[in-house]
Amino acid sequence: MKRLLIACIFALLLVAVFRREAASQSSLTQEIAPGVWYRAAEPDKNIIANTGWVEFRDYVLVIDANFPWGARAILEDLRKTTSKPIRAVFDTHYHGDHAFGNSLFVDAGAVIVCSEDCLAESRAKNPKAWGASAELKNYRLEHPQISFREQMAFDDGAHRVELRLMGPGHTRGDAVAYLPKEKILFTGDLCVNRPGNNISDPDADPDGWIRALDKMLQLDVAILIPGHGVQGTKDAIHGQRAYLAGLISEVRKGIGRGASADQLEKEITLTQYKPWGLDDNRNKTAIRAVYAKLNRSR
Ligand SMILES: [Zn+2]
């Protein structure tokens, strides 16, 4: 009787484990159009950015390399969708959560592609960021090997992916991946779809970011995969722009009448921009950062 009970409990546990596994696979990786995949972030595993890949006739193009541990998880999930070789990885920008996994893809046979400005930023800034992290000790920093000025395209007749420079915005070299046929846009961190954003990054250019979003609004977009947060539509670009434009204009007005950053942090309300303005602490950091940037450039 006791043995039977133990066997039953064991069987139930197994079912629970399998269920969880099946659920996590299907919820993380999604085919958003034939041959176009999106893998959602796993923040609890410090895989914080979203990733995509496109299966061409003979090869695969990956969009954003993630952290090294993220790259490993992505490679595993990617292999469940296709056995074609990964020829190229596009880094939307040089930040670690999008580019530090480059070496794992290079070892899998890929070249890393990004904008010229992104490459320059990677070379200038990533060695220091890499050296400062204990988590990266067992991995290798790999800069992109191919770069483009304004635009380049992967096109085999069946699929077309355009890599387009949009920055400066979140960084100097931000670029996006656009699939005109499927109307899919992978935005990197120029657009997120969750509370907060990274305008406090030292590289961020507030007015440039608005111009970048305006350029992105000219594209015909049905499905939007943000750098962070949930899948969206073109509305996410409108929402992101409204939040940033509201933030920048309030700070600029405040500076104009001689207000301090402390005052503005208390006065400016951004919670009406959902979901971007829902994190009060991040709003405060953003207000201070924009204040410092605009005050400096006056
Ligand atoms: Zn990011």
- What separation in Å is there between the alpha carbon of 206 and the centre of ligand 1? 17
* DSSP one-letter code for 44: G
Write out the residues surrounding ion ligand 1, Cβ under 5 A.
49, 97, 189, 227
pLDDT at 253: 97
What's the CA gap between 115 and 74, in Å, rounded?
23
pLDDT at 1: 53
- Of 26 and 202, the structure prediction assigns the larger pLDDT to 202
Confidence grade of residue 3 (pLDDT, cut at 50, 70, 90):
low
- What separation in Å is there between the alpha carbon of 96 and the centre of ligand 1? 8
3-class state of residue 225 by DSSP: strand
Q: Check pLDDT > 70 for residue 173.
A: yes
Chain mean pLDDT for the chain: 92
pLDDT mean over 84-96: 98
pLDDT at 259: 96
- What separation in Å is there between the alpha carbon of 259 and the centre of ligand 1? 31
Edge-to-edge order in the sheet of strand 51-55: 29-33, 36-39, 51-55, 60-63, 86-90, 111-115, 146-148
- What separation in Å is there between the alpha carbon of 198 and the centre of ligand 1? 8
- What separation in Å is there between the alpha carbon of 8 and the centre of ligand 1? 45
- What separation in Å is there between the alpha carbon of 183 and the centre of ligand 1? 22
Global confidence as pTM:
0.90
pLDDT at 202: 82
pLDDT mean over 187-203: 89
Q: Check pLDDT > 80 for residue 17.
A: no
* DSSP one-letter code for 77: H
- What separation in Å is there between the alpha carbon of 18 and the centre of ligand 1? 31
Residue carrying structure tokens 């796993």: 42
Q: What is the pLDDT of residues 136-166, one digit of tens each?
A: 999 999 999 999 999 999 999 999 999 999 9
- Of 2 and 92, the structure prediction assigns the larger pLDDT to 92
- What separation in Å is there between the alpha carbon of 169 and the centre of ligand 1? 13
Q: Does domain 29-233 have CATH number 3.30.2130.10?
A: no
